């Protein structure tokens, strides 16, 4: 199990290494990103890590990345991929105050997944970072 999470972390680290390389991000991560129909050759841990990496690359420049990450997050069938998608969404959408993304994340939080709970909770906070959104705060406090 620890080896699997090491794959997640190592793949996510590519996002730190390539941070800001917006034009090449998809090409750099393509071998690891989830493919349509679940045909990706990488492990689910690498796929989840790649979504997190994608968000890290696009941190503070996430407009173009958000649609892709929203789609991947919504279509993920594996919790590990959804975990990485949530973290990627949170980083790429940091401070946007997007209620659509917040609500999508909140719906997953309310499923009480032990694996996704932490990632989704962090992502919700990152999306609302600095907005002072009282309703978002109330939602999170009510759940806590």
Give 100-139 pLDDT, tens digit per residue: 999 999 999 988 888 889 999 999 999 999 999 999 999 9
Question: Could you tell me which residues come within 8 angstroms of residue 39 by beta carbon, excluding any fewer than 6 positions away?
Answer: none
* CA atoms of 72 and 75, how far apart (whole Å): 5
Q: What is the mean pLDDT of residues 21-32?
A: 94
> Which pair of structure tokens corresponds to residue 82?
């959804």
Confidence of residue 58 (pLDDT cuts 50, 70, 90): very high
* CA atoms of 120 and 113, how far apart (whole Å): 10
- Write out the residue range of the structural domain in which residue 89 sits: 2-143
Using CA atoms, how far residue 16 sits from 29, 59, 128, 141, in Å, is 12, 10, 22, 31
Residue 26 above 70 pLDDT? yes
Q: What is the mean pLDDT of residues 20-44?
A: 87
Residue 86 above 70 pLDDT? yes
Report the number of distinct structural domains present in the chain: 1
Q: Are 69 and 89 spatial neighbours (Cβ–Cβ below 8 Å)? A: yes
Q: What is the pTM of this model?
A: 0.93
């Amino acid at each position: 199990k620890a080896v699997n999470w090491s794959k997640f972390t190592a793949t996510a680290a590519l996002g730190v290494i390539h941070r800001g390389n917006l034009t090449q991000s998809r090409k750099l991560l393509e071998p690891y990103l989830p493919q349509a129909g679940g045909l990706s050759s990488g492990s689910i841990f690498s796929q989840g890590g790649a979504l997190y990496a994608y968000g890290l690359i696009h941190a503070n420049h996430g407009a173009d990345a958000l649609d892709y990450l929203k789609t991947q997050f919504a279509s993920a069938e594996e919790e590990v991929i959804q975990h990485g998608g949530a973290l990627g969404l949170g980083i790429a959408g940091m401070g946007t105050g997007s209620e659509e993304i917040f609500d999508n994340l909140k719906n997953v939080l309310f499923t009480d997944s032990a694996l996704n709970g932490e990632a989704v909770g962090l992502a919700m906070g990152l999306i609302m970072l600095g907005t002072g959104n009282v309703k978002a705060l109330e939602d999170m406090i009510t759940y806590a």
